[in-house]
Amino acid sequence: MNEQVPSITPQGELFCSPDVEEARSFFRQKPRTMTNKLMSVSEAVSRFVHDGDYLASGGFGGVRIASAVLHEIVRQRKKNLGLSGHTATHDFQILAAGKCFNRCDVAYIVGLEMRGLSLNARRYMESGAVKMTEWTNAALAWRCKAASMGLPFLPARVMLGTDVMKHSAAKTIECPFTGQKLVALPALYPDVGIIHVHRADIFGNCQLDGITIADYEVGRSSKRVIISTEHLVDTDEIIKKPLQTLLPFWLVDAVCHVRYGSYPGNMPYEYFSDEEHLAEWMEAERDPDTFQQFIDKYIYGVSDFREYLELKGGELRMAELRELEPLRRNEEKRMPASGGSL
């Protein structure tokens, strides 16, 4: 239909197979029994995250992220992970601190939105230690959506004609109906998805409040799912608001009860981000030795996330961050507060 433009041959590596038959076989054997999946973060990470796995982190970089699980991955010194660098900011900063990954699908990495750039993450990415393939935020969300739909790819109208396309592992196709040129985005089935939510029961039924970002897609496309939750609730609570259910139990492998589990990230309706501590991260990253001491103190030197929270001011600081949360007042106006203080 069009005169030819210099055609771009994508050079990026495809880190995950879009083979839907293989994925169906995996999902076929995944148990449907409603069993108690409540466990510590340490147990969840040691059982469900293996060296070499491909990981997808839910939320949006510094908003509703599973910080406790990310810290534990670093603490257990998981290596050679693949990573979906989808709107990755503080989550990326944590995993880069542990040098946990060696390949990355890039949509947004290294940056911290308005806060600036992570110097340590930059050093890691500029060192040559990480293989990169380029995508966009929409492309990575749609790749997980294709996988969620059980389809090997989704067509879309982004990336075309750019260097993102050139360094991706997408292909161009022609629409069989209209002849329109489209990009084919291959299904992405992460080995592990980690998602922080507002409430879950012990079986894995889980709900969140506020924007969902790409978590429906990450939750449904990941072969194994670790849920960390602010509040542990009875199944009856889930049933009261079924429209808010993100995932039903049989998609979930582990439930970890971690109050303030998105810290220092923002948890809408619960607490705001700790900008002081995030600035402290950036400051420490200026010098590699200082930064090593920083992560020794806050990650390697503590036994769990609770100890990290205590180092950062514990209940008192969390109460301050709850005060700073703009949606919390809305929540209290509209419905009884869940949880309470630490």
Q: If 0-12 CB within 10 Å is exposed, 13-18 middle and 19+ buried, where does residue 240 land? A: exposed
Total residues contacting other proteins by CB under 8 A comes to 70
Residue whose CB is less far from other proteins, 41 or 186: 186
Q: Is residue 126 a contact residue for other proteins (CB under 8 A)? A: yes
Contacts of other proteins in 219-258 (CB under 8 A) = none
- When the beta carbons of 22 and 163 are compared against other proteins, the nearer one is 163
Which residue of 53, 72, 91, 134 would you call a contact of other proteins, by CB under 8 A? Answer: 134
Q: How far is the CB of 226 from other proteins (least distance, A)?
A: 20
159 binds other proteins (CB under 8 A): yes
Taking the least distance from each CB to other proteins, the nearer of 35 and 180 is: 180
Is residue 56 involved in binding other proteins (CB under 8 A)?
no
- The helix (run of H) or strand (run of E) holding residue 21 is helix 20-29
- The one segment of 41-49, 50-58, 264-272, 297-305 that binds other proteins by CB under 8 A: 264-272
Give the distance, in angstroms, between the CA of residue 213 and the centroid of all CA atoms in the same chain.
Answer: 10
Tell me the residue type at 115. R
Kindly state whether residue 285 participates in binding other proteins, applying the rule CB under 8 A: no
Q: Work out whether 183 is an interface residue with other proteins (CB under 8 A).
A: yes
Q: Does 147 bind other proteins (CB under 8 A)?
A: no
What's the burial of 327, exposed, middle or buried (CB within 10 Å: 0-12/13-18/19+)? middle
Residues with Cβ < 8 Å from 140, sequence gap 6 or more? 84, 85, 86, 105, 107, 188, 214
In this structure, what DSSP letter does residue 85 have? Answer: E
Between 142 and 291, name the residue whose CB sits nearer to other proteins: 142
Please give the Cα distance from 297 to 44 (Å, whole number).
Answer: 23
**Which among 71-79, 179-187, 188-196, 220-228 is the span making contact with other proteins, rule CB under 8 A?**
179-187
Non-local CB neighbours of 316 within 8 Å, separated by 6+ positions: none
The 153-156 sheet, strands edge to edge: 153-156, 181-186, 171-174
User: Does 153 interact with other proteins (rule: CB under 8 A)?
Assistant: no
DSSP, collapsed to helix, strand or coil, labels residue 249 as helix
Side-chain half-sphere of 147: how many Cα atoms within 13 Å? 30
Shortest distance in whole angstroms from residue 302 CB to other proteins: 26
CA atoms 244, 248, 252, 257: torsion sign: positive
CB of 164 to other proteins, least distance (A): 5
Instruction: Decide if residue 93 touches other proteins (CB under 8 A).
Output: no
In the complex, minimum distance from the CB of residue 36 to other proteins, in angstroms, rounded to a whole number: 29
CA atoms within 13 A on the CB side of 170: 32
- Stretches 72-80, 156-164, 195-203, 312-320: which one binds other proteins (CB under 8 A)? 156-164
Write out the residues near other proteins by the rule CB under 8 A.
2-5, 59-64, 85, 87, 89, 106-111, 113-115, 117, 122, 125-126, 128, 132, 134-139, 141-142, 145, 156-164, 167, 172, 180-183, 210-217, 266, 268-269, 272-273, 275, 325-327, 330
